[in-house]
Amino acid sequence: MQPLTSQNIESELSYAYLHAVTSAAGMACEICGRHEDNAGADARIVAWAPFQNGGYKTEVELKIQLKATIKPPPLIGESFSYAFKGIRRYDDLRAESLTIPRILVVLFLPSESADWIHHTEDALLLRKCAYWVSLRGAQASSNDTMQTIYIPKAQRFDVDGLARLMADLSRDVIPSYSDVKGDQE
């Protein structure tokens, strides 16, 4: 058996990050099967009431497309510029006809693999942070391989941010790419 490539390790760390955040938020997280993966969903999160600031739904679901990168993201205004590779996945995420909302979660890792994770008897530290964006309603790409997208710096994928997002979903407030400041496009 071959050892994992650096890119495989980055991917696995994004799953670990996702599971850590959802578990700490008291939500269920499971890896999607092959069929859902082929449709652009790597994982599914389920959350149950009570939600912050109410919400009439007692159970909400969200599908996640995960990415990880060691390339430092340029900050354009209040958003990170990210080169999303794979137009088919981009199209899956921008579809407005889906029953279960989807978001993109990108984990930005340090450039040096030795800095990715550190552990002691007191702590397990995964360095850097993940951010999320909904591409729902984004414009079609004019490129066949890559699309530049903008991920708001304020949309950190952490326990509080995920709780707010799921509370919004419990009130049928579905995030869309039009919510991202339009001055980048």
Q: What is the pTM of this model?
A: 0.92
pLDDT score of 52: 87
Q: Tens digit of pLDDT per residue, the chain (185 long)?
A: 788 889 999 999 999 999 999 999 999 999 988 767 667 799 999 999 999 888 899 999 999 999 999 999 999 999 999 999 989 999 999 999 999 999 999 999 999 988 888 999 998 878 889 999 999 999 999 988 999 999 999 999 999 999 999 999 999 999 999 888 554 44
Among 69, 57, 56, 60, smallest CA distance to 25 is for: 60
Tokens of 25: 């938020």
pLDDT of residue 37: 66
Instruction: Tell me what pLDDT residue 181 has.
Output: 57
- Residue 159's contacts (CB-CB under 8 Å, 6 or more residues apart) are 21, 24, 25
Q: Which amino acid is at 161?
A: G
Residue where the block lists tokens 């990715």: 116
Residue recorded with tokens 């729902």: 136
Question: Quick one: pLDDT at residue 135?
Answer: 96
List pLDDT tens digits, range 14-39. Answer: 999 999 999 999 999 999 887 676 67
pLDDT at 183: 45
